[in-house]
Structure 1
Amino acid sequence: MAILSGRLKPNLGKYDEPPEWDDIIRFFRGSELQPYFSKLAEDRLRAVLKPQHVDLLAKKLKGTVAQLLKVADERGALDEIVDELELKDIMNRDVRKLSGGELQRLAVGIVALREADVYLFDEPSSYLDVYQRVKVAKLIRSLAREDKYVIVVEHDLAVLDYISDLVCVIYGEPGVFGVVSMPRGVGVGINEYLDGYLPAENMRIRKEAIRFDLRPLERIWKPEEKMLSWPRMVKVLGDFKLTVEPGSAHKGEVIGIVGPNGIGKTTFIRMLAGELEPDEGYVPLREKLKVSYKPQYILPEYDGTVRNMLVEEGGPEATSAWFRSEVLRPLRIEKLMDRYVKELSGGELQSVYIATCLAKDAKIYLIDEPMAYLDVEQRLTVARVVRHIAEERGAVVFIVEHDIIAHDFIADTLMVFTGRPGIEGHALSPMGLKKGMNLFLKELGITFRRDKHSGRPRVNKEGSYLDRLQKSIGEYYYVER
């Protein structure tokens, strides 16, 4: 992204003697990159970039949301962008007081308001709920016109599928080397990535293919498998009120939790974890069952190595041969063991926090947004590891996550949170995956179909034949291949 935006010149492998633009352009003669770099070198191509780490914007930018957007508005589209990204309520707020999701939408808005030839978005869905991700995806697609380039880096496969016409697969060894494939159609490209084999390059990039095998959508639980149940609960935090319907969970069950930001999902998890007490009702499990909790916000605060953190906070299981094989190795943590926690990247830190949570020999695992900062393969690996832990230990796992494909890959049941963000939330009882997804997606107004090759869920383009058909029959989460 830095090279395509002109912030970094390709050195063609000549680290000690970086080439000039003439040499770079000559190197790419005959390819589509030759005219691109020619225009870039002559300042005839204007590129604007939404950076990966939007949390740094609060330190770099000054002023209110309205002031920043007005300065950026070169297309005369301010009102349209504010409406599309639902920024009206925060227009007078200082940028330093914005949440991660608000900063993300502001950053996308600033880039979309620029008049440019190339629009680049680095991980535009981070911090956003599903509804906001679809909004941002629609806005980014609208920027693609005949004389414009739109380039996106994205780890949420559903969002990537929805935004893109073409994709490039980047493979290699993290921190060592990377190779960018030739472009291919989005459906073919994602499937080849999941297969782990790129036919055009004759390149094997993974030993095993990733498949979305359909599990029974309505799993029947035996009475003796019930591990916990909770009554109706109410929690009031300032002006916000959360109401939780009665529910139950079973041994080996993974319960996905979905809903917009600010609707009470984390509040529910914190009540189960014992960090908050309900104002009405009670949490019955804490005296009887051991709980392990991975919070939403992770900070590199531990003063020591990864190994020390795992042992001190995870317990003796963290060093067992079984745990190394089933958790540490798949999550690529073995090579981080002697690194200091404060030196880790966001993705590395997330993996360590997940492993620390799973290292505890608990019966209830509460995992809040585990996919943040992780790439596609890491997300699917985390899903496999968590499901294996649930089945192996006969534990219950609650997962709050905005990545729909991750839920499809891992969840047995769903808890759907509805209401008005920041005002009131209503948590429904756990329900079957199909029923829960249908209810949730109907509120979002989007439909999914199954990819015939991989079985993964694919977002239907709005207004397409399948989108209209599935809405007409009430099948927003279509499961037939």
Structure 2
Amino acid sequence: MSHPEPLITADNLGLEVAGRQLLQNITLALQPGEIVTVIGPNGAGKTTLLRLLLGLTRASSGEVRRRPGLRIGYMPQRLQIDASMPMSVRRFLQLGQAQLDREQARMALQRVGAAELADASLADLSGGEMQRVLLARAASRKPQLLVLDEPTQGVDVGGQGEVYRLIAGLRDQLGCGVLLVSHDLHLVMAATDKVLCINQHICCEGHPEQVSRDPAYLELFGDKVAPYTHQHNHQHKLSGDVVGDHSCDHEQPHHPPEHRERK
């Protein structure tokens, strides 16, 4: 049985800057509809890897292959907003995307549960609201590949589970692949198909539970991380606050990805 062509492939990717090896021997392939999470300690080269895969930085060795005509939606780790320059969320979504009309901008926000923010000022958004807007912008071109660098940056724990639920929902709606960077495996265990743990090189890779038990992972992070499944029997506000009195258990026994029901 033939497999579809990967969206993006890296073969023995390496980067050396001023005699310092930042990354070496990174090999990966991301398939359509697959969520792959890159984790690793600070300074491991996670963001550098994304830049190499996106073609923003030239590799010193190895090769990156992207499917011809691949549409990529990118969500950066941080965005500096000048509070003195008023800009609405809708206008921000349309920056550099003149073809994105008013209705398309509304739909992009609706996909991430933030349609009511269209006329809000970008400078007034909370951390959780800003991440939703950035996610809406990344998904607005209906990409075949979503690349997300620390998508829960500045979001509280309750809101983080919601962001990962939204990412999985976008994967289902758009039929796209997702490559994301996270600093914390237990937060993404329930929302990823494959994990790549790096520290300048690939330490271990595989299904989330498999990686969480790998000696190389435990050496980097210890065994303090508990499996995480977001039991979504309630709703969050955009700020991450829980709406209603239903319980939320953020640390539950985890079911392997192959047992999760996919829409």
TM-score using structure 2 length: 0.75
Please name the residue that 1:223 is paired with: 3
Q: CA deviation at 1:348?
A: 3.0
User: Contact (CA 8 Å) 1:245, 1:428: kept in 2 or not?
Assistant: no
- Please, which of 165, 182, 206 is the counterpart of residue 431 of structure 1? 206
User: CA separation in 2, counterparts of 1:372 and 1:385?
Assistant: 15
Mapped contact 1:246–1:429 kept (Cα < 8 A)? no
SS in 2 for 1:245: strand
Does structure 1 residue 388 correspond to structure 2 residue 169? Answer: yes
2:62 and 2:102 map into 1 onto residues whose CA distance is: 35
- How far has the Cα of 1:379 moved from its partner? 1.5
Q: Which runs of 4+ in 1 moved over 6 A?
A: none
- Deviation, 1:347, is 3.5
- Is 2:186–2:228's contact at 8 Å kept on the other side of the alignment? no
Q: 1:304 aligns with which of 75, 84, 87?
A: 87
Shift of 1:344: 3.2
The runs of 5 or more residues in structure 1 that have no matched partner are 1-220, 419-424, 459-476
Change (3 A) 1:344 1:366: same
Cα deviation 1:322-368 (Å, max 9, x = unaligned): 544422x2xxx333322232343444333322221121221111101
Q: Counting helix residues as a fraction of each chain, which structure ranks higher? A: 1
Report the residue type matching 2:27 in the other structure: P
Instruction: Name structure 2 gaps, 5 residues minimum.
Output: 232-248, 257-263
Deviation at 1:413, TM superposition (A): 0.3
Q: Per-residue deviation at 1:273?
A: 1.7
Corresponding letter in the other structure for 1:385? L
Give the aligned partner of residue 220 of structure 2: 443
2:237 counterpart residue number? none
State the shift of 1:389 in Å.
1.5
How far apart, CA to CA, are the structure 2 residues paired with 1:340 and 1:452? 34
Selected match of 1:326 from 78, 103, 111: 111
Q: Equivalent residue for 2:240?
A: none
- Opposite residue 326 of structure 1, the aligned amino acid is R
What are the within-5 Å matches in structure 2 for residues 49-448 of structure 1? 223-224=3-4, 226-238=6-18, 239-285=20-66, 287-301=68-82, 304-313=87-96, 316=100, 319-320=103-104, 322-327=107-112, 329=113, 333-418=114-199, 425-427=200-202, 430-439=205-214, 440-448=217-225
**Do the aligned partners of residues 345 and 384 (structure 1) sit closer, same or farther apart at CA in structure 2, a change above 3 Å counting?**
closer
Distance verdict in 2 for CA 1:453–1:335, change over 3 Å: closer
Aligned equivalents of 1:270 and 1:318: distance in 2?
31
Out of 277-286 and 426-435, give the one that drifted further: 426-435
Greater strand proportion: 2
Contact kept? 1:448, 1:478, Cα under 8 Å: no
The residue type paired with residue 189 of structure 2 is D
User: SS where residue 120 of structure 2 aligns?
Assistant: coil
Aligned residues: 232
Question: Which has the larger Rg?
Answer: 1
- Compare 406-415 and 348-357 and name the one that shifted more: 348-357
TM-score normalised by L of structure 1: 0.43
Letter of the 1:230 counterpart: A
CA RMSD in angstroms, aligned pairs only: 3.2
Deviation at 1:430, TM superposition (A): 4.8
